[in-house]
Chain A
């Protein structure tokens, strides 16, 4: 227990941790601010203004069309010789909605913001997790600690559990604040209508899956940095995965005409995990006939269970290898 307390203290005392948490909070704040700024409650006054703007636009369009018709009569060739094709838009094609700052609809708009929160926090968790153990290895602090507690597996797993608990705390707190903030934005600049218990439950589950993503990212960063005994090892692996695996592999798979190649790439899986399922469509394949639609390209559906299983397996393998290597290696 004492080791656990020490590790939690160490994590929260690190300037690196504080800095990245601060960055994340600033980005989230900007996102919230931007959302608040670009949304507005619709009132009679804003609607009237929008109607007026739509009217003005309609009149303008009529003017342009009239101008074009006159030009056409003077020189029909430049209009393809047929002036009947020139017609102004009808009034109902220009709706007031286009001139209205949209209201923030909590039920419709917030789920995407939960995904943004989870993605940002997962990135930060990866970096913090990597640096937490990487800097320790790198500075020799790990060796010092092992002189005090010569139980390597115990030390590493305590560090990991301190990290994960701390990340979970950060996730829950920031998630609650995030929800509260957008509830406020919806109340002031939109609507909170339609938040039935079912909607809340679905939102809560999205949040939980987001938290899971954050924890897995933290564990993977921690494991990779511990295996490489350097923060940069984890960051290098991450960049390598993104560059080689995502961009490189995407090109190779596409050239090789591999079926469902998107399914080999990370975004599909993250998407599936966060929004419950993701359809990979193989447009190149011969289509599949169905009773309702005549011809559809084949679809591979990645479910959130599949994605969760994959992420859990990767985290467990990386953390397992980290545990295995610390057990065996000479610490010099």
Chain B
């Protein structure tokens, strides 16, 4: 497989009134051709900054980037025609209709204007195409943005939170659309906070935290690398659940008691549980590993799981007293 998108050692610092802020701190990313690649990270971790830099809107301080084998930003004008992008809910000039907006873009980019009605149809805006963009709802603007990215039939489609504001039906349509696009050979880079969605449609993911890559690879690999060591334990009916849990806790297990079962959070060796219980004549009726989903992995890697009684601040990463690291 060939890489459609390569980033290495990308650095960007914003200079503000209160000194400098490292938005990207040596970030790396690789996206293979034909894949749907998820780009995940907490608020303020640098996703949008990465995409803006990639598309030449921001000048990086350091690092190398290539799109479709071409060095960017130097060769960006040559590849721009093959890259469709939306960056962070793009704004449009409110007094133009969707049709005018797209046809002006098509003109500017030298795209066949006959694609305009086609993409409007595709994103479901056909009947509202002659309304001014100002009158659109959030989701309709988002659909228009997706339409604008699809207008030039790109090889690489970059979507920054495209599901933002879409209704459930719209999200599902977006999922199907992306599947179809990837099927037709397009590579899609998708940033999103809806992890269930990412897990459903992405072949691979990159997780960014505080401007650095913390995980990358196929969804299965990322999940496998972080299977939780938690197991769910269910005992035979009538057995003293609390007593058994207490006994295990005394042996060092981290126990969470539920109504009819408990989970052991740190069961690196589940056999130990059965052994300890069997010594007291307690027999387990169920012992299942609790599989981690993308959300768990994400929260663990980025250290952004909520902590009871504390409001987590943006830019606060796990090492500063969060959970899991």
- Are B109 and A140 in contact, CB atoms less than 8 angstroms apart? no
Closest chain B residue, CB of each to CB of A6:
B107
| B59 is an interface residue with CB less than 8 A from chain A | yes
- Are A147 and B85 in contact, CB atoms less than 8 angstroms apart? yes
- Are B80 and A330 in contact, CB atoms less than 8 angstroms apart? no
Q: Which of A2, A139, A140, A148 has the most CB of B within 10 A?
A: A148
Residues from 117 to 140 in A contacting B, C-beta threshold 8 Å: 135-136, 139-140
Contacts of B58 in A (CB 8 A): 330-332
| B43 is an interface residue with CB less than 8 A from chain A | no
- Are A2 and B94 in contact, CB atoms less than 8 angstroms apart? no
- Are A10 and B77 in contact, CB atoms less than 8 angstroms apart? no
Contacts of B56 in A (CB 8 A): 146, 150
- Are A2 and B93 in contact, CB atoms less than 8 angstroms apart? no
Contacts of A141 in B (CB 8 A): 91-93
| B95 is an interface residue with CB less than 8 A from chain A | yes
| A21 is an interface residue with CB less than 8 A from chain B | no
Set A2, A9, A145, A328: member contacting B110, Cβ < 8 A: A2
User: In the bound complex, what is the Cα–Cα distance between A331 and B57 (angstroms)?
Assistant: 5
User: In the bound complex, what is the Cα–Cα distance between A332 and B80 (angstroms)?
Assistant: 18
Tell me how far the C-beta of A132 lies from the nearest C-beta in chain B, rounded to whole angstroms. Answer: 11
Residues from 137 to 153 in B contacting A, C-beta threshold 8 Å: 148, 152
A143-B92 contact in complex given A13-B100, A148-B108, C-beta closer than 8 Å = no
- Are A6 and B104 in contact, CB atoms less than 8 angstroms apart? yes
- Are B57 and A144 in contact, CB atoms less than 8 angstroms apart? no
| A91 is an interface residue with CB less than 8 A from chain B | no
Interface residue tally on A, bucketed by range: 20 to 34
Q: Which of A6, A146, A150 has the most CB of B within 10 A?
A: A150
- Are B77 and A148 in contact, CB atoms less than 8 angstroms apart? no
Contacts of A331 in B (CB 8 A): 52, 57-58
| B90 is an interface residue with CB less than 8 A from chain A | yes
- Are B148 and A144 in contact, CB atoms less than 8 angstroms apart? yes
A9-B96 contact in complex given A144-B148, A150-B56, C-beta closer than 8 Å = no
- Are A139 and B52 in contact, CB atoms less than 8 angstroms apart? no
Tell me how far the C-beta of B21 lies from the nearest C-beta in chain A, rounded to whole angstroms. Answer: 13
Query: Mask for A306-332, Cβ within 8 A of B = 1, else 0?
Result: 000000000000000000000010111
| A149 is an interface residue with CB less than 8 A from chain B | yes
| B157 is an interface residue with CB less than 8 A from chain A | no
| B73 is an interface residue with CB less than 8 A from chain A | yes
| A23 is an interface residue with CB less than 8 A from chain B | no
Contacts of A330 in B (CB 8 A): 52, 57-59
Closest chain B residue, CB of each to CB of A143:
B57
Contacts of A10 in B (CB 8 A): 104
Contacts of B96 in A (CB 8 A): 13
Contacts of B73 in A (CB 8 A): 150
Contacts of A136 in B (CB 8 A): 93
| B119 is an interface residue with CB less than 8 A from chain A | no
| B76 is an interface residue with CB less than 8 A from chain A | yes
- Are A145 and B108 in contact, CB atoms less than 8 angstroms apart? yes
Query: Mask for B131-168, Cβ within 8 A of A = 1, else 0?
Result: 00000000000000000100010000000000000000
| B105 is an interface residue with CB less than 8 A from chain A | yes
A2-B90 contact in complex given A150-B73, A331-B58, A332-B57, C-beta closer than 8 Å = no
- Are A143 and B77 in contact, CB atoms less than 8 angstroms apart? no
A150-B80 contact in complex given A2-B108, A3-B108, A330-B57, C-beta closer than 8 Å = yes
Contacts of A146 in B (CB 8 A): 56-57
Contacts of B94 in A (CB 8 A): 139
User: In the bound complex, what is the Cα–Cα distance between A10 and B152 (angstroms)?
Assistant: 19
Q: Which of B76, B92, B104, B110 has the most CB of A within 10 A?
A: B104
Closest chain B residue, CB of each to CB of A154:
B77
Query: Mask for A60-90, Cβ within 8 A of B = 1, else 0?
Result: 0000000000000000000000000000000
Interface of A is mostly: helix
| B55 is an interface residue with CB less than 8 A from chain A | yes
User: In the bound complex, what is the Cα–Cα distance between A167 and B93 (angstroms)?
Assistant: 22
User: In the bound complex, what is the Cα–Cα distance between A57 and B288 (angstroms)?
Assistant: 118
User: In the bound complex, what is the Cα–Cα distance between A144 and B109 (angstroms)?
Assistant: 11
Contacts of B107 in A (CB 8 A): 2-3, 5-6, 9
Query: Mask for A24-58, Cβ within 8 A of B = 1, else 0?
Result: 00000000000000000000000000000000000
A151-B77 contact in complex given A143-B57, A145-B108, A330-B59, C-beta closer than 8 Å = yes
Contacts of B110 in A (CB 8 A): 2
Closest chain A residue, CB of each to CB of B12:
A330
Tell me how far the C-beta of B156 lies from the nearest C-beta in chain A, rounded to whole angstroms. Answer: 12
Residues from 148 to 206 in A contacting B, C-beta threshold 8 Å: 148-151
- Are B104 and A150 in contact, CB atoms less than 8 angstroms apart? no
User: In the bound complex, what is the Cα–Cα distance between A151 and B110 (angstroms)?
Assistant: 14
- Are B100 and A147 in contact, CB atoms less than 8 angstroms apart? no
A2-B59 contact in complex given A9-B104, A15-B95, A148-B80, C-beta closer than 8 Å = no
Closest chain B residue, CB of each to CB of A152:
B56
| A14 is an interface residue with CB less than 8 A from chain B | yes
| B231 is an interface residue with CB less than 8 A from chain A | no
User: In the bound complex, what is the Cα–Cα distance between A147 and B76 (angstroms)?
Assistant: 10
Contacts of A7 in B (CB 8 A): 108
Closest chain A residue, CB of each to CB of B84:
A147
- Are A143 and B80 in contact, CB atoms less than 8 angstroms apart? no
- Are B57 and A140 in contact, CB atoms less than 8 angstroms apart? no
| B87 is an interface residue with CB less than 8 A from chain A | yes
- Are B59 and A140 in contact, CB atoms less than 8 angstroms apart? no
- Are B148 and A149 in contact, CB atoms less than 8 angstroms apart? no
User: Which A residues are closer than 8 A to B by beta carbons?
Assistant: 2-3, 5-7, 9-10, 13-15, 135-136, 139-141, 143-151, 328, 330-332
Across the A-B interface, give the 9 residue pairs with the lowest CB-CB distance, nearest first.
A140-B91, A6-B107, A6-B108, A148-B109, A331-B57, A150-B56, A150-B76, A141-B93, A330-B58
User: Which B residues are closer than 8 A to A by beta carbons?
Assistant: 52, 55-59, 73, 76-77, 80, 85, 87, 90-96, 100, 104-105, 107-110, 148, 152
